[in-house]
Amino acid sequence: MKSLAIAARFCGPPASSNGGYFAGRVATLASRTVTVRLLKPPPLDTELAVEELADGALRVLQGQEPIGEARPAALEIDVPPAPPYLAAVEASRRYAGFRYHRFPGCFVCGVRRARGDGLRIFAGPLLEGVVAAPWVPDASLDGGAGKVRAEFMSAALDCPGYYAVAPDDRMMLLAELTAHVDRLVHIGEACTLIGWRIGASGRKHEAGTAIYDGKGELCGRARALWIEPRSAEGGA
């Protein structure tokens, strides 16, 4: 049976993994595009068993408790063209997390993470329902040959989607992520990320995200399902 463990560096909330990073680790084990569903917050520094199911599906377990599931998927999403890099830089100046951040230590979007430690992807409003951020991957993300490891691409595709669907910073939890990496970006490359709102139904919100390289070419894309906890309904 396969296994994985999420190091504390890759947290989202203080005691659990960033959802996009977790999804990327699971997708790496699957060696294909999958929809990863988070059933429980993935714990940190804990060995998790990965059970292979029928039809290429996977289940991640802590003891007997399911933490996440993955099933093969074909990602269907219409991706907008890349905005100019400088427009993403300007949008990031309006990042909502600079005013208030629920999880300032988040590996992807946390404002308390130093360069070379967190990804520091600060997606701010670009257009109605669209956010953008610059990203220059650092050497700690190198998976070989000067390119970013696939799980970090998946992580980068996580948080911009939240800021696209929750500009008012309402509480939401990542429920599902389907990420597809077209090609890995280079370390030190001036990349651009965007997130955009796809739709909503009650407490469920869908977002798309994309990564572009320094030439504005699409390198990765994802579709995410975010859910407002029931306690958040009506502002309660």
Does 8 reside within a domain? yes
Q: Phi and psi for 11 in degrees, rounded to 5?
A: -75, 160
Residue where one domain finishes, among candidates 27, 47, 72 = 72
219 falls in which pLDDT band (50, 70, 90)?
very high
> pTM (2 decimals)?
0.95
What is the percentage of the chain residues whose pLDDT exceeds 90? Answer: 92
- Are the CB atoms for 27 and 67 separated by under 8 Å? no
Does 77 reside within a domain? no
Task: Give the number of domains in the chain.
Answer: 2
Does 78 reside within a domain? no
Does 80 reside within a domain? no
Per-residue pLDDT reduced to its tens digit, 4-24: 999 999 999 999 999 999 999
Same domain, 99 and 204: yes
> Which structural domain, as residue segments, surrounds residue 123?
85-235
Give the contacts of 76 (CB within 8 A, at least 6 positions apart). Answer: none
Residue where one domain finishes, among candidates 72, 104, 125 = 72
Same domain, 35 and 95: no
52 falls in which pLDDT band (50, 70, 90)?
very high
Does 28 reside within a domain? yes
Same domain, 106 and 208: yes
Q: Is 38 exposed, middle or buried (0-12, 13-18, 19+ CB in 10 A)?
A: buried
Same domain, 123 and 168: yes
Q: Say whether pLDDT at 53 is over 70.
A: yes
Q: Give the integer Cα–Cα distance in Å for 181 and 219.
A: 6
Q: Give the integer Cα–Cα distance in Å for 88 and 63.
A: 43
When pLDDT is averaged across residues 81-110 and rounded to a whole number, the result is 97
Same domain, 142 and 182: yes
| The 3-state secondary structure of the chain, one letter per residue | CEEECCCHHHECCCCEECHHHHHHHHHHHHCCCEEEEECCCCECCCCEEEEECHHHCEEEEECCEEEEEEEECCCCCCCCCCCCHHHHHHHHCCCHHHCCCCCCCCCCCCCCCCECCECCCCCEEEECCEEEEEECCCHHHECCCCEECHHHHHHHCCHHHHHHHCCCCCCCEEEEEEEEECCCCECCCCEEEEEEEEEEECCEEEEEEEEECCCCCEEEEEEEEEECCHHHHHHC
Q: Give the integer Cα–Cα distance in Å for 138 and 172.
A: 29
Same domain, 30 and 6: yes
Same domain, 43 and 112: no
The CATH number linked to 95 is 3.10.129.10
Mean pLDDT for all residues in the chain: 95
Q: Give the integer Cα–Cα distance in Å for 148 and 141.
A: 5
The tokens describing 128, both together, are: 């109605």
Q: Give the integer Cα–Cα distance in Å for 47 and 78.
A: 37
Same domain, 112 and 220: yes
When pLDDT is averaged across residues 87-103 and rounded to a whole number, the result is 96
Does 208 reside within a domain? yes
Q: Say whether pLDDT at 231 is over 80.
A: no
Q: Say whether pLDDT at 66 is over 90.
A: yes
Same domain, 189 and 117: yes
